Chain A
């Protein structure tokens, strides 16, 4: 990876950013004014994880993780909707 200088640096930087993002998400989940903040934090956490998966795929040069990322995105969206619906209405399937 030594000859990929710029990309390597960029990847490391991105990994660091999303890693720190995860820690912030965790903080928000643990300490938040209300439940919606926590749910949003969980949703953001899923997005950060997707980013990490994609970055990992770029670094290892394999495409398998991109599909995993796609499925994470879909399920993450659905569970966020479910949490939100629960807070709004109590019953998620009315």
Chain B
């Protein structure tokens, strides 16, 4: 359980910064740091066991049918990475507290950071590749947010987009690769996959899976030719660069390669793809880094180069090389994060990162200089620092590696890479900190406060400590991680002196000497570099992405142009064509069921339906007549349901019909009474043909269905058999609604409530002032109006009907479980009874006399339904399982009580509240349009000689 909690903690912690920022920036940073520290502590508690060689597992079934389970495991590799992510994360949180300026929204920053941290920890702890993919995508998304954190900078937004596109595309490829891998191994659990080396490497799908997975790893870890996104991502705030682009996210690709090493490595394909890519990336990026003037761009390319180095080591496929890779991951994280933070400090203090405008800072910023000195010497590989140790070991490995029969290619190129590395490291140091103090800095630099340099200083101290006593400081971790990667026990021997006979010594000497010479002639080389044309990655990227985006826009413009007619046409034609294709290609005979004889009265009903539908098409421009014809159709459909033994449907249909008519009449008051002619003849013909095809298709389909028996047993049998036994009701329709499919109903009433509240909100926005409101205020009735607003006859009739209708509603509600009825119909019936009062005596008059808050009604309904469902848990059964029993209360007969009735009460209240809220919202528009408010229930009052009214006031509106 605790592993899942470690992965979940940062996500839970992501909720806190947004809240804590109200208590101040310190509180915000401390809370975030506390959560990370807690996760780190929990990880640390597992460390002794992992170092003993145990593998800790947590298994939580999530969607076992899909093979997607929340399984986590922790071995040496996971411990190394999770430790890096959480440990450096803690330092970054501290650094960011002082780096971010007052105008930057800190709560947002920490929230994004924690999301990212959680995703990273999730990747390294996942024991299920599908889960790993989920976290993998989450890192892409959260890093998008982090890179684009400064939303006002176009470079930030573009860099974020580019990073997301490249890593996202790689992630897609990886999903495919992982699925192939899972299929070969027969399980999506990493621990199982890792045991199936032979099966996977023997499979014909090995190469495709390898390439797809490597695409994901290479894009994430910025390997050539996907390296170009990383420098553009440097538009991010420095804490992000230090965290994502030195210690964590770009190492996710390396982690993946290391994780998959036992099953994928060791083949020639693996060696040539991975080692070559790593080597090319290492040399190329190191060369580019030498000519970058932006401190962060220099570090970015240096990072690419070091990632290439580690990739190459993993590519060798030997145990020794994998061990060196693990060691270098630790070293690179320490010195590179420290360097990024130093660069950030320089930027923060001097207000520029341009190396050409810097120099001489060692006098002005001695502390920063000390940190940068240690870190960059380590990056250059100068003894006795930790960078030297791992680089020496790397060179040693290349010296033993044969590439395509050549013994010298690998060592020579690796030495060249190391040489460039020395050159840019010293350039970073010399051109920023050495030289004379200048007087033209954009801002007078000085050392920052302790808070800002504490984190890089700690890392620099680690660099020295690991450098001096590598075996004590890091040897155990390297052993554990490398042991997990290779699957065999590893005992690394890290030492400074390998003897004069070691080739690595001479390669190192060559690299340092050559690098210093290169730096000495940097000015000349820089001029040549600037004069030579080279491919601009961003332009190529834009050249690929822009046409794709334009294509997407064109497709969208055709299929999604906002015209409902077009959507309907596309959908109808597609469905009809597919249906026709299915009908034409499949084997089918005529129906087996006999037709029932046609009876006269139902035939009349059918005739009415057809004629009214046709009349509707003919007269649709007269909107009121259309409504009347819709009324006929609704009536016929309702009575049809009653005739075909579906009384529930009949009751629901007729209630919905009247609610619809009232809603549409309310709206029609403010709409033109006729529909203008807008379509040309050809268009009408086209639409008519589509409609005719669609209608014919549905008709034929239904005819075909009704003249045949079901091909498989229908679910109706089950419902009929179990309705009383399990749901306690004899009305199957109601039992389905409140029990069998109670969860659906719960969702539906929630949606209904949301719909009504949206109508209310839209009306509210309409009435708030603006063009729509002005038009309403200037609105005048477009038809002649009768003088009697509230006729006495109508008022008396509706008053008499109110109690009757309410009793009907209660009756229909109560007996719904066993006979036609239920909460939905009862809600509509009561709503209609109330609406009658509105129609008779006016909105404001009625509203003042019944003080029901419809919002509260909706909320209460949903809550009651939810509480009923949750109540089932206390009974030890799943959500919404209903229970029922019989009670005797003297002098009543024995009667049944079911929890489903309580759920139905929730449905009832929500329906009532939703219908009333929608109607009341629309009515308020009329008041805004200059309607006066009546004082009396009806206009002709015996005591007065005419209607008494008052103008609408804000108090009545606000209701």
Contact = CB atoms under 8 A, between A and B. Distances in A.
Contacts of A90: 669, 781-783, 785
B829 interface: yes
A64 B836 contact: no
B839 A72 contact: no
Nearest to B660: A79
B785 A52 contact: no
B612 A71 contact: no
A7 interface: no
A39 interface: yes
A19 B666 contact: no
A78 B832 contact: yes
A30 B615 contact: yes
A26 B612 contact: yes
Given A29-B628, A64-B819, A81-B839, A15 B832 contact: no
Q: Could you say which interface size class chain A belongs to?
A: 35 or more
Contacts of A30: 611, 615
B651 interface: yes
A22 B665 contact: no
A16 B600 contact: yes
A3 interface: no
A13 to B, nearest CB: 12
Contacts of B514: none
Interface residues of B, number: 65
B175 to A, nearest CB: 54
B465 to A, nearest CB: 80
Given A52-B639, A86-B624, A86-B668, A68 B629 contact: no
B49 interface: no
A13 B58 CA distance: 78
Interface in B595-644: 600-601, 604-605, 607-608, 611-612, 615, 624-625, 627-629, 631-632, 635, 638-639, 642-643
Interface string A64-94: 1101101110111111011101101111111
A19 B651 contact: no
B801 interface: yes
B820 interface: yes
B325 to A, nearest CB: 76
A88 B788 contact: yes
B657 interface: yes
Nearest to B933: A94
Which applies to chain A's interface (DSSP): helix, strand, loop or mixed? Answer: helix
Interface in A31-83: 35, 38-39, 42, 45-46, 49, 52-53, 56, 64-65, 67-68, 70-72, 74-79, 81-83
Given A29-B629, A68-B820, A52 B931 contact: no
B681 to A, nearest CB: 25
B657 A75 contact: yes
Contacts of B568: none
A19 B794 CA distance: 30
Nearest to A71: B651
B665 A82 contact: yes
Interface string B799-824: 00100010010001000000110000
A91 B835 contact: no
B647 interface: yes
A70 B809 CA distance: 12
A42 B801 contact: no
A94 B786 CA distance: 13
B113 to A, nearest CB: 54
B628 A88 contact: no
Interface in B813-848: 819-820, 825, 829, 832, 835-836, 838-839, 842-843
B651 A68 contact: yes
A82 B843 CA distance: 14
A94 B662 contact: no
A70 to B, nearest CB: 7
Contacts of B805: 74
A81 B655 contact: no
Contacts of A26: 607-608, 611-612, 632
A22 B636 CA distance: 11
Contact of A72 (B631, B638, B934): B638
Contacts of B786: 88-89
Contacts of B657: 75, 79
A35 to B, nearest CB: 6
B658 A79 contact: yes
Contacts of B650: 68
A89 B658 contact: no
Name the 9 nearest CB pairs between A and B, nearest first. A88-B786, A75-B658, A93-B923, A93-B838, A19-B604, A79-B658, A94-B842, A91-B926, A86-B665
30 contacts: A19-B600, A22-B604, A22-B608, A29-B629, A38-B628, A42-B635, A52-B601, A65-B642, A65-B647, A67-B651, A68-B647, A68-B654, A68-B820, A71-B655, A71-B825, A71-B829, A78-B832, A79-B661, A81-B836, A81-B839, A82-B658, A82-B662, A82-B665, A86-B665, A92-B669, A93-B838, A93-B843, A93-B926, A94-B790, A94-B926
Interface of B: 600-601, 604-605, 607-608, 611-612, 615, 624-625, 627-629, 631-632, 635, 638-639, 642-643, 647, 650-651, 654-655, 657-658, 661-662, 665-666, 668-669, 781-783, 785-786, 788-790, 794, 798, 801, 805, 808, 812, 819-820, 825, 829, 832, 835-836, 838-839, 842-843, 919, 922-923, 926, 931, 934
